[in-house]
A and B are shown apart, each in its own frame.
Chain A
Amino acid sequence: EPEVTQTPSHQVTQMGQEVILRCVPISNHLYFYWYRQILGQKVEFLVSFYNNEISEKSEIFDDQFSVERPDGSNFTLKIRSTKLEDSAMYFCASSRRLAGGRDTQYFGPGTRLTVL
Chain B
Amino acid sequence: KNQVEQSPQSLIILEGKNCTLQCNYTVSPFSNLRWYKQDTGRGPVSLTIMTFSENTKSNGRYTATLDADTKQSSLHITASQLSDSASYICVVPGSQGNLIFGKGTKLSVKP
Residues of A within 8 A of B (CB): 4, 31, 33, 35, 41-45, 48, 55-56, 58, 89, 91, 93, 98-102, 104-110, 112
Contact = CB atoms under 8 A, between A and B. Distances in A.
Contacts of A112: 41
A98 B89 contact: no
Given A91-B44, A110-B41, 5 more contacts: A43-B101, A56-B96, A93-B43, A99-B99, A106-B46
Interface of B: 31-32, 34, 41-46, 49, 51, 89, 93-104
Contacts of A108: 43
A55 B96 contact: yes
A58 B101 CA distance: 13
24 contacts: A33-B98, A41-B103, A42-B89, A42-B103, A45-B98, A45-B99, A45-B100, A55-B96, A56-B96, A56-B98, A58-B98, A89-B41, A93-B43, A98-B97, A99-B93, A100-B31, A100-B93, A102-B32, A104-B34, A104-B49, A105-B46, A106-B46, A108-B43, A112-B41
